[in-house]
Amino acid sequence: MANKEQTKLMDGLKKATTEMMVLFMLRKQPMYTYEIMKAIEQVSNHVLVYNTLYIAINRLCKNGLIEEASKSLTDDNHVRIYYKITDAGNRYLDYAIQEYHRISAAIEQVISS
């Protein structure tokens, strides 16, 4: 079980990459928030588990990187909002992935020296 410092480190690393993960999932197809959370969790073999993505979703919408694609009503009368990535979001994601790889490689170089 992770101690307080380990949990804080993991939370910080997740927070730094959350928007990139959301954009990457939406690049594949439009999804609703809970679906994005579960997709990230599944693809990451349960390493990246989010309690909520609403703050990231709102920030991405506000910045024009994602937008509402459609809405649907569930059997229990809840509205599901599906989001899709915008052209600006695709450009930003390409840049974010490039920078992530550049920084990861630099960190690996430092800790391997």
Residues 6+ apart with CB under 8 A from 2: 10
Binning pLDDT at 50, 70 and 90, where does residue 1 land? low
Q: Which residues pair with 70 in a beta bridge?
A: 82
Per-residue pLDDT of 7-53, as tens digits, reads 888 888 888 899 999 999 999 999 999 999 999 999 999 999 998 99
- CA 82 from centroid of its chain's CA atoms: 15
How much is the mean pLDDT over the chain?
94
Question: pTM for this structure?
Answer: 0.88
Per-residue pLDDT of 46-105, as tens digits, reads 999 998 999 999 999 999 999 999 999 999 999 999 999 999 999 999 999 999 999 999
Alpha helices in the chain (DSSP H): 4-28, 33-43, 54-62, 87-112
